[in-house]
């Protein structure tokens, strides 16, 4: 019975431990990837938070407008006393000597349904403008973080390459030191090798400082406070990118939002010159205490009409200004579209060139590796000079460094294609 109960418990504990380890591993991997830094930067961005608050504020303004054209109820109270002494004072026929009013006033401005909908659309257009601007700034932020992530990852690769070369040189150092002590190698040859090793060690320190500096800047841009420098994953950028069509881009969205706002403003101007009708009513107690003040409870009704007649042709001029604004936005849109297409062409052309360079460098590096390995085997026998061995290592180092740089440039170009920003 105890065995029957023990095994399920053990299996449960093993399952929980495995799940916990897997979760920790996934979390650790996620925190060292590009999506993690982009998401963190977006969450910590005060600018994006500001846009969210502006959207909420515009929605509240829309509700306020609805309330403005609803019934407005106010409580009012007025008391007045105008003394008359020996015939001196205000005319009682005008002031009644003293008066008291206490009651409730209800007022409402009547507008058509289309008029109200047009005014409400102004807030929807404002929200669309804010959303377009938010999307553009989000795209800009994503590109900025990705650029810095690529720079940090590139410096990390250079640092790791230097460590790889130093490990290779350290292995050879043990062999060459014994051969030099055995007089197989000249002291000067060994010193030449030692100087090369020390130069690479200095380069390693410089590249480590560069990597940590880029890492710190990446954390700074994302709003992350961390003193650790864990290894970053390779940037997850698609190699085959189909850029967003200009009609679907954030720029078109922004131009559409601006145009809708300007067009809607024109409609509001027209409605502002329509007749306005206001109805009001009040009820309560109002008296001059002249006679039967206890009977002065009552109510009042009123209706007001406002009809625009002449304002110096301001309506026509405002509509002309809106039409000019629409024409201006159209010209900006056409120019941005041309720049958008040209930028796509330039990026694609550059990417093709770097793909060719990367292909050539990868072919050359196979020969460089083979040459280093062959020289390393022949070096102890004296068949290869120390200078030639060091030269082959430098060639390998330069080729790998070029490949790292080509990949970094390609990643930057892919990032530009993914987040096309028109300056």
226 shares a domain with 88: no
226 shares a domain with 123: yes
Could you tell me which of 13, 328, 386, 365 has the C-alpha nearest to residue 164? 365
Residue 210 in domain: yes
104 shares a domain with 154: no
Domain harbouring 314, CATH code: 1.20.1600.10
Total count of domains within the chain:
2
Domain harbouring 105, CATH code: 2.20.200
44 shares a domain with 160: yes
185 shares a domain with 102: no
**Rounded Cα gap, residues 175 and 45, in angstroms:** 55
Residue 221 in domain: yes
381 shares a domain with 343: yes
pLDDT above 80: residue 6: no
Structure confidence at residue 341 (pLDDT):
93
> Which tokens in the block code for residue 213?
């500096």
The domain boundary residue, chosen from 254, 287, 307: 307
321 shares a domain with 191: yes
353 shares a domain with 291: no
Buried b (16+ CB within 10 A) or exposed e, 277-301: eeeeebebebbeeeeeeeebeeeee
Where do we find the tokens 């950028």? 237
Residue 17 in domain: no
Could you tell me which of 124, 297, 151, 128 has the C-alpha nearest to residue 212? 151
Lowest pLDDT segment from 47-56, 58-67, 158-167, 272-281: 272-281
Residue 293 in domain: yes
Residue 250 in domain: yes
How does pLDDT run across 208-245, given as a tens digit for each residue?
Answer: 999 999 999 999 999 999 889 999 999 987 655 677 88
How does pLDDT run across 10-23, given as a tens digit for each residue?
Answer: 544 545 555 554 44
59 shares a domain with 88: no
Q: In the predicted model, what is the mean pLDDT of the chain?
A: 84
Q: Which domain holds residue 298?
A: 73-110+276-307
220 shares a domain with 282: no
Residue 5 in domain: no
327 shares a domain with 213: yes
Sign of the torsion formed by the C-alpha atoms of 412, 418, 421 and 422: positive
For helices 113-181 and 46-68, the axis angle rounded to 10 degrees is: 170
180 shares a domain with 244: yes
DSSP state string for 259-319: HHHHHHHHHHHHHHTS-EEEEEEEEEEEE-SSS-GGG-EEEEEEEEEE----SSSHHHHHH
Please tell me the total number of residues recorded for the chain in this structure: 423
Residue 100 in domain: yes
Residue 27 in domain: no
């Amino acid at each position: 019975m105890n065995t029957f109960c023990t095994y399920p418990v053990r299996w449960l504990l093993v399952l929980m431990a495995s799940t916990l380890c897997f979760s920790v591993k996934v979390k650790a991997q996620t925190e060292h990837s590009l999506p993690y830094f982009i998401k963190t930067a977006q969450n910590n961005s005060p600018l994006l938070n500001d846009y969210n608050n502006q959207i909420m504020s515009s929605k509240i303004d829309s509700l306020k407008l609805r309330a403005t054209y609803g019934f407005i109820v106010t409580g009012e109270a007025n008391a007045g006393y105008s003394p008359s002494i020996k015939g001196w004072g205000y005319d009682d026929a005008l002031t009644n000597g003293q008066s008291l009013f206490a009651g409730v006033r209800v007022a409402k401005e009547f507008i058509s349904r289309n008029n109200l909908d047009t005014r409400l659309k102004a807030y929807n257009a404002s929200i669309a403008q804010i959303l377009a601007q938010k999307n553009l700034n989000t795209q800009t932020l994503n590109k900025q973080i990705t650029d810095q992530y690529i720079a940090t990852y590139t410096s990390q690769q250079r640092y790791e390459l230097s460590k790889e070369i130093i490990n290779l040189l350290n292995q050879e150092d043990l062999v060459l030191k014994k051969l030099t002590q055995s007089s197989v190698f000249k002291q000067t040859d060994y010193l030449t090798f030692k100087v090369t090793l020390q130069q690479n060690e200095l380069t390693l320190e410089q590249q480590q400082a560069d990597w940590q500096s880029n890492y710190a800047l990446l954390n700074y841009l994302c709003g992350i406070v961390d003193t650790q420098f864990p290894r970053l994953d390779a940037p997850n950028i698609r190699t085959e990118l189909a850029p967003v069509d200009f009609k679907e881009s954030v720029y078109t969205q922004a131009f559409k939002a601006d145009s809708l706002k300007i067009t809607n403003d024109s409609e509001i101007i027209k409605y502002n010159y329509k007749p306005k009708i206001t109805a009001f009513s009040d009820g309560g107690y109002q008296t001059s205490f002249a006679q039967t003040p206890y009977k002065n409870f009552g109510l009042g009704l009123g209706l007001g009409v406002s009809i625009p007649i002449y304002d110096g042709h301001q309506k026509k001029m405002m509509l002309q200004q809106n039409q000019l604004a629409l024409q201006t936005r159209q010209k900006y849109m056409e120019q941005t579209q041309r720049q958008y297409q040209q930028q796509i062409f330039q990026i694609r052309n550059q990417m093709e060139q770097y793909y060719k360079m990367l292909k050539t460098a990868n072919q050359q590096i196979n020969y460089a590796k083979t040459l280093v390995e062959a020289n390393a085997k022949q070096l102890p026998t004296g068949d290869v000079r120390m200078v030639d061995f060091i030269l082959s290592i430098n060639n390998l180092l330069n080729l790998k460094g070029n490949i790292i740089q080509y990949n970094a440039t390609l990643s930057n170009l892919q990032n530009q294609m993914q987040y096309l920003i028109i300056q």
